[in-house]
């Protein structure tokens, strides 16, 4: 290393060796650039708008995330419609392209870095995330770039199940039952696994969104877990997006050619040169404009010129404005524009346009980490050369190796904690693997603000053995939270109350989810699993392994799975909590729709990204129908 730093790492070269290694370096740099070249993404129309001003558009879409990217694609299919897409962030960084590097996007400049409180409302004592070192509460990452949160998620393609969508319809939302939404899942999908596609009943091919099955190389860890879940009485499933949902197996993911596929990459990149679609980046929407008839006529937004300098624009809309800013930013924008609860807006001197319960019915998937020491007697130390340097080289030059593999991250499960034979789950499991002395689990905990004693406990365990982290996830919470404005200033962050565990049943279900996973791990004899006891002083008075202990544990270590929904809830006219109707039109106004996870009347039983893409596909057809055009 000393010779390297001094510039004298080898004897003098007569030429060919320097040329050879110089070529190697150039090849590696070219391969890195090829992962995410700047010209891959749609051109930023912002500089043109600065120079020439903005014309009127038929449709303006706020947010280029998992929903907005789809709507922009589908509406611009009509060459006679002029479409503008506004995105508060810019192009995704290279980390958003490499599988399972999404954690490095968290708390970066492409993350809104939100925090959600969760208190009991009596003494303002937290009901969840109590071990977080942040005084703000539960860390909630949200994507701020083309692709939105879908550009920083875990790529999981999971739809939920038929019961989820039939429940939507039973709540009064005609056309949102399973039979009605399944064609839209198929429409967007380009599933690359012929075994999964089968006769096409559940899956589609030829759509924009690539879906791949994680098959990967067989590993001892996966084999041992498979044997354990089967010994515990669960099936091993090949397709969670078909008819069966209880069991364990490998997931389907949005990847193509060993790179991640967000909705922006899937739906915007192929059509980036459509002349009737303009994309303005770094454009933060701050207000929706309405005329005297309460019709949405425009969008005011600011574009950053520097760190502390903004230029204000207002764009006029001929047909409709579509808000697809996500379950936090969508209600914030609506309320800033006078669409919200009258009493909330009155306190902030915001003129009321439509008195609606915006932000009230927030739901999220809450989870908690369990850590097991495994292979304590056989685990080998993490080696940077073996585990990182060589795999990076393989990925850059061949798109092969461990960086393309999901490992235990792709081993998921669904159970019903009250009835093992029930067809629909109430708990899901994700997993994470940290090789002995790798520090992976420790660094992840630090990202989640679980440093201090929690991080110390896990680091000590990881110094002794490999670690398996398991995440029991509450799928169907009965608890609700809300999003409210903190101030009337649009650049200020909103107030988020996650509402975790305000309903007692949620805690009981998650406790049982922990016990089910422990029973499974008891069957994994070759892994020699041993649960890591985290140093939690707040739980010291409880008897270990009692329900009271696990309740304390959950309240200390609870985390979001990044799935907030419901803050602009869809519902019929008699639903007092509804913000939009079944065609996603905002009530009490015209020319305005919400198209994103905000509209879910009840959270789906699985990762939410696939459902959001489906919502956008269905909404796009509604928009076409309502404006008299079909492809």
Residue list, annotated binding site for FAD: 153-156
**Closest to 294 measured CA to CA, from 210, 355, 247:** 355
Question: Using CB atoms within 10 A of its CB, is residue 630 exposed (0-12), middle (13-18) or buried (19+)?
Answer: exposed
From 203, 517, 563, 627, active-site residue: 563
Q: Which residue has the tokens 């064609």?
A: 183
Q: 211: how many CB neighbours lie within 10 A of its CB?
A: 27
Q: What distance in Å separates the CA atoms of residue 271 and residue 279, rounded to the nearest whole number?
A: 11
- Residues forming beta bridges with residue 211, ordered by sequence position: 191
The CA-based angle 116-121-127, given to 5 degrees, is: 55
- DSSP 8-state class, residue 302: E
E strand or H helix at 180: helix 178-188
In sequence order, which residues have a C-beta less than 8 Å from that of residue 194 and are 6 or more positions away?
Answer: none
Closest CA to 250 of 234, 231, 227, 226: 226
Instruction: Show Cβ contacts of residue 489 under 8 Å, excluding neighbours closer than 6 positions.
Output: none
Give the C-alpha separation, 115 to 24, whole Å.
Answer: 44
Whole-angstrom Cα distance, residue 449 to residue 455?
A: 9
Q: Which residues are annotated as a binding site?
A: 153-156
Tell me if residue 563 is catalytic: yes
Q: Under a CB-based contact definition with an 8 Å cutoff, are residues 596 and 391 in contact?
A: no
Active site residues: 563
């Amino acid at each position: 290393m000393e010779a390297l730093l001094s510039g004298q790492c080898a004897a003098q070269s007569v030429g060919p060796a320097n040329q050879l290694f110089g070529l190697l370096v150039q090849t590696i740099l070219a391969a890195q650039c090829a992962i995410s070249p700047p010209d891959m993404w749609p051109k930023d129309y912002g500089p043109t708008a600065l120079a020439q001003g903005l014309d009127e558009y038929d449709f303006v879409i706020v947010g280029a995330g998992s929903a907005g990217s789809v709507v922009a694609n589908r509406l611009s299919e009509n060459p006679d419609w002029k479409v503008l897409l506004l995105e508060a962030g810019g192009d995704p960084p290279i980390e958003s392209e490499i599988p399972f590097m999404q954690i490095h996007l968290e708390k970066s400049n492409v993350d809104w870095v939100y925090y959600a409180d969760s208190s009991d409302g009596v003494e303002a004592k937290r009901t969840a995330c109590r071990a977080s070192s942040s005084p703000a509460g539960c860390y909630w990452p949200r994507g701020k770039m083309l692709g939105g949160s879908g550009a920083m998620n875990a790529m999981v393609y999971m739809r939920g199940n038929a019961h989820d969508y039939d429940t939507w319809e039973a709540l009064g939302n005609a056309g949102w039952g399973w039979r009605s939404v399944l064609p839209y899942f198929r429409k967007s999908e380009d599933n690359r696994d012929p075994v999964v596609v089968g006769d096409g009943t559940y899956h589609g091919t030829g759509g924009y969104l690539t879906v791949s099955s994680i098959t990967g190389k067989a590993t001892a860890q996966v084999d041992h877990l498979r044997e354990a879940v089967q010994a515990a009485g669960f099936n091993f499933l090949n397709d969670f997006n078909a008819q069966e949902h209880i069991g364990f197996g490998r997931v389907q993911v949005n990847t193509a050619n060993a790179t991640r596929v967000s909705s922006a990459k899937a739906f915007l990149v192929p059509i980036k040169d459509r002349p009737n679609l303009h994309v303005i980046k770094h454009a933060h929407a701050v207000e929706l404009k309405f005329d005297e008839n309460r019709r949405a006529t425009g969008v005011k937004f600011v574009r950053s010129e520097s760190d502390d300098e903004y230029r204000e624009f207002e764009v006029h809309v001929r047909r409709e404005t579509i808000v697809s800013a996500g379950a936090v930013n969508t209600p914030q924008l609506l309320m800033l524009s006078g669409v919200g609860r009258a009493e909330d807006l009155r306190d902030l001197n915001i003129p009321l346009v439509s008195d609606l319960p915006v932000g009230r019915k927030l739901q999220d998937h809450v989870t908690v980490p369990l850590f097991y020491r495994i292979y304590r007697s056989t685990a080998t130390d993490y080696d940077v050369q073996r585990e990182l340097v060589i795999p990076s080289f393989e990925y850059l030059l061949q798109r092969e190796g461990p960086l393309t593999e999901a490992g235990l991250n792709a081993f998921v499960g669904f159970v019903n904690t009250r009835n093992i034979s029930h067809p629909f789950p109430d708990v899901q499991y994700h997993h994470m693997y940290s090789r002995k002395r790798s520090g992976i689990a420790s660094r992840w905990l630090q990202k989640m603000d679980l440093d201090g004693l929690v991080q110390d406990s896990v680091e000590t365990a990881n110094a002794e053995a490999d670690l398996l982290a398991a995440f029991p996830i509450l799928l169907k919470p009965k608890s609700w939270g809300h999003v409210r404005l903190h101030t009337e200033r649009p650049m200020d962050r909103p107030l988020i109350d996650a509402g975790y565990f305000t309903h007692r049943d949620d805690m009981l279900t998650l406790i049982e989810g922990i016990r089910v996973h422990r029973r499974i791990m008891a069957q994994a004899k070759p892994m020699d699993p041993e649960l890591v006891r985290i140093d939690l002083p707040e739980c010291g008075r409880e008897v270990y392994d009692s329900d009271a202990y696990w309740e304390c544990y959950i309240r200390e270590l609870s985390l979001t799975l990044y799935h907030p929904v419901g803050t602009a809830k869809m519902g019929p006219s008699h639903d007092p909590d509804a913000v939009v109707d079944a065609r996603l039109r905002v009530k009490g106004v015209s020319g305005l729709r919400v198209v994103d996870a905000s509209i879910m009347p009840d959270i789906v039983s699985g990762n939410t990204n696939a459902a959001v893409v489906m919502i956008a596909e269905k909404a796009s057809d509604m928009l076409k129908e309502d404006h008299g055009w079909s492809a």
